[in-house]
Amino acid sequence: MAKRQFKAESKRLLEMMINSIYSHKEIFIRELISNSSDAIDKIYYRALTDDSLTFDKDNYYIKVDTNKANRTLTIKDTGIGMTKEELESNLGIIAKSGSLSFKNENEMKDGQDIIGQFGVGFYSAFMVADVVTVITKALGSDEAYKWESKGVDGYTIKPCDKDEIGTEITLKIKENTEDESYDEYLDASRLKTTIKKYSDFIRYPIKMDVTETKPVEGSENETEDVQVINSMVPIWRKNKSELTDEDYENFYEEKRYGFDKPLKHVHISVDGTVRYQSILFIPEQMPYDYYSKEFEKGLELYSNGVLIMEKCSDLLPDYFSFVKGMVDSEDLSLNISREILQHDRQLKLIAKNINKKIKGQLLSLLNVEREKYEKFYQAFGRQLKYGVYSDFGSNKEVLQDLLMFYSSKEKKLVTLDEYASRMSDDQKFIYYASGESHDRIKKLPQTELVADKGYEILYFTDEVDEFAIRMLMTFKDKEFKSVSSGDLGIEDESPSSTETEKKENKELFDYMKKQLQDKVKDVKISTRLKTHPVCLSTDGEVSIEMEKILRSMPK
């Protein structure tokens, strides 16, 4: 039996598609500009392979114009244009991508920059326009054509006049409705912002007219200028050696990653199994909303210079959520809306790689620019400690070298490695004491014996400290020990004397225990006190400080 073809109600399909694949209407501008850029790329590619053609960069551009009175927005390019047949198939068949065919036919290796592949982006124009008109003249053709469509009820193609090779697309912007205003797509400055957001790194100039009012000798004078609004070459594609710290700082500011000056940046360019470029920043200050629900971690994600996602959270683990920056890769598998990724294998690889880089940067800060690291740690140290605590300690390998605590001996923040390297041979444990403040901890009777032995004590003043350390359990095979735990591993008890003391004071201890009732488990002779008459100690898993926190947590 002969196979039958599926039929589809194409009008409905188009409507469904337009309104369901994109989450932001404004991306239509990204799609149309990407198409224009592809069209110029194709001419460029032709010129590479055809000697009769020359490519003078100055002649190739994209121009965006608005006309508020007519409610039109025009995007014009000097790209390769379309023949009548190409108009029919590229704009008449949904999901037909002339750009993908071009790539395949030409076996473009270095042409992987061409953006189009799905054959649907163009139709996103109908999210904001009632009528879309395309006037185009193909390279090597004398005829120009006008394609016009109101979206749902098909399209017409007619011959028309056009001097230059290229394409001009005019959108008749929808009238405002009660729920939605479309005026922003006619507002030049709003458009400029949107274009900068998505298409700043399109490699050809995107031009717009800007009217500036300048006072000239008493009277106001309006001047109209053509301005190139995109930066074209992204900073991450530039050579590191040509860039200064200031360039990176400017980029940080321009991108509004933060209002501070970044403490450190790293510029990565990887040419391995996945190719990507990335610029990462370690901020100096904590964003005001860092510990609020509103804070969203993530890096900007670009595919070939076109912004795909503003905050790609999969690129950063929670414990590095303070990192700002971007990733650009040509190897991402995008889904049809070019918004979410279909397969995230590449993304996972990039994330893994980036994670290593961030750790490397932090270590180098710590080792080379200690003061800066301490500043960083003041702002984000807690996040690292949470990182150790969460995921059942599986992050400890990454994070333990980055932790710092205040030291009783050094009177400043020290790393665990520094502590361990100072440990004497007879010292069994890494000691810590928890409390509200350094002052309070210093006065704890439990610290006396340890300090007297000459051992260093780490002061834990953050609620998360002890929880994090419990996840680590050991550092370089040395166990952590709270100074208030029962067995400190240093009491050189002489059993006979304690035994007799125990007997002698039995009555007193029993009385004390009775008075304190179930507030204590036992009252014992202590061998660890020096100047204090009494102290509390624990023999269980949980220290007194930790118990306090656990008790204060909502049940």
Binding-site positions? 31, 35, 77, 82, 90, 96-98, 117-122, 167, 338
CA atoms within 13 A on the CB side of 51: 0
Angle of helix 544-552 relative to helix 463-472, nearest 10 degrees, comes to 120
Segment near Mg ion (CB under 5 A); pick from 29-37, 44-52, 241-249, 303-311:
29-37
The shares of helix, strand and coil residues in the chain, as percent rounded to the nearest 5, are 40, 20, 40
Annotated binding site for ATP: 31, 35, 77, 82, 90, 96-98, 117-122, 167, 338
Report the distance separating Cα 548 and Cα 555, nearest Å: 13
The site partner of 312 among ligand ADP, Mg ion, none (C-beta below 5 to 8 Å per kind) is none
Least distance from Mg ion to the Cβ atom of residue 92, Å = 15
Applying CB under 6 A, does 117 fall inside the site for ligand ADP?
yes
CA 370 to CA 372: how far, in whole Å? 5
Neighbouring residues of 174: CB distance < 8 A, sequence distance ≥ 6:
128, 129, 130, 182
Provide the 8-state DSSP code for 121: G
Question: For residue 167, what are the CA distances in angstroms to 133, 161, 244, 529?
Answer: 10, 12, 39, 88
Residue closer to Mg ion, measured from CB, 121 or 262: 121
Does position 82 interact with ligand ADP (CB under 6 A)? The reply is yes
| Residue 461 contacts residue 435 (beta carbons within 8 Å) | yes
Quick check: 305 binds Mg ion (CB under 5 A)?
no
Distance of alpha carbon 106 from the chain centroid = 36
Query: Please, are residues 440 and 454 in contact by the beta-carbon 8 Å criterion?
Result: no
Minimum distance between the CB of residue 32 and ligand ADP, rounded to whole angstroms?
A: 7
Contact stretch for ligand ADP (CB under 6 A) within 21-29, 49-57, 91-99, 233-241? 91-99
Which residue among 39, 326, 327, 449 contacts ligand ADP (CB under 6 A)?
39
Q: Is position 122 an interface residue for ligand ADP (rule: CB under 6 A)?
A: yes
Pick what 445 binds: Mg ion, ligand ADP, none; C-beta below 5 to 8 Å, kind-dependent: none
Task: Determine the residue type at 263.
Answer: L
Per-residue x/- mask for ligand ADP, residues 160 to 199, rule CB under 6 A? -------x--------------------------------
The residue type found at 304 is: N
Position among 66, 83, 99, 383 found at the interface with ligand ADP (CB under 6 A): 99
Q: Does 321 bind Mg ion (CB under 5 A)?
A: no
DSSP letter at 91? I
Which of 114-122, 228-236, 303-311, 465-473 is the region at the interface with Mg ion (rule: CB under 5 A)?
114-122
Three-state SS across 372-419? Answer: HHHHHHHHHHHHHHHHHHHHHHCCHHHHHHHCEEEECCCCCEEEHHHH
Nearer to ligand ADP, 39 or 450 (CB): 39
Q: Does 355 bind ligand ADP (CB under 6 A)?
A: no
- The partner in contact with residue 325, picked from Mg ion, ligand ADP, none with C-beta cut-offs of 5 to 8 angstroms by kind, is none
Among 22, 36, 129, 379, contact with ligand ADP (rule: CB under 6 A): 36
Q: Contact between 135 and ligand ADP (CB under 6 A)?
A: no
For ligand ADP, the closer CB: 79 or 387:
79
Q: Is 219 helix (H, G, I), strand (E, B) or coil?
A: strand
Q: Closer CB to ligand ADP, residue 119 or residue 262? A: 119
In whole angstroms, how close is the CB of 35 to Mg ion at the nearest point? 4
Instruction: Give dist(CA 219, CA 540) in Å, integer.
Output: 84
The partner in contact with residue 90, picked from Mg ion, ligand ADP, none with C-beta cut-offs of 5 to 8 angstroms by kind, is: ligand ADP
Closest distance between Mg ion and the C-beta of residue 115, in Å? 6
Q: Under the phi-then-psi rule, with left for phi > 0, alpha for psi from -120 to 50, and beta for the rest, what region is 411?
A: left
Closest distance to ligand ADP from the beta carbon of 290 (Å): 39
Q: Which parts of 120-159 interact with Mg ion (CB under 5 A)?
A: 121
Place of tokens 């500011």: 253
106 neighbors 48 (Cβ within 8 angstroms): no
Contact with Mg ion (CB under 5 A) among 22, 35, 350, 416: 35
Q: How many residues bind Mg ion (CB under 5 A)?
A: 3
Q: Is 353 in the site for Mg ion (CB under 5 A)?
A: no
Q: Which residue has the tokens 């394409």?
A: 167
- Which residue from 549, 523, 548, 518 is spatially nearest to 537, judged by alpha carbons? 523
φ, ψ of residue 334 in degrees (nearest 5): -90, 155
Contact residues: ligand ADP, CB under 6 A: 31, 35-36, 39, 77, 79-82, 90-91, 97-100, 116-122, 167
